[in-house]
Amino acid sequence: MEYGFFDYKYFESIETYHAVHGKDFFGTWHIIFMVLSFVLIPLIGFLVRKTPKKKIDIFLKILSIFVALFEASKIIWESYYDITTDRGFNAGGILPIYSCSILIYTLLVAAWGKGKAKDVAMSWLCTIGLCCGMIGCVYTNGLNYYPFWTYGAFDSLIFYFNLFLVGIVLLASGYKKLEWKDIIKSWIPMLLMSVIASPINYYYGGDYMQIYSGDGVPLMSTLAGILEAHKLRPLFTYIMLSSYMILSTAVIGIYKLVNLIIDRTRAKHQAVAAAGNAPAEATQAADEIVEEPSAAPSPAPSGTTDASVES
pLDDT in tens, 169-210: 999 999 999 999 999 999 999 999 999 999 988 887 788 988
Alpha helices for the chain (secondary structure H): 14-20, 28-47, 53-84, 102-112, 115-126, 128-138, 151-172, 182-204, 220-229, 233-291, 306-310
The reported pLDDT for the residue numbered 309 is 39
pTM of the model: 0.82
pLDDT at 89: 85
Residue 286: the pLDDT is: 56
What pLDDT score was predicted for residue 142? 85
Contacts of 58 (CB under 8 A, 6+ apart): none
Low-confidence ranges of the chain (pLDDT < 50): 304-311
pLDDT at 270: 83
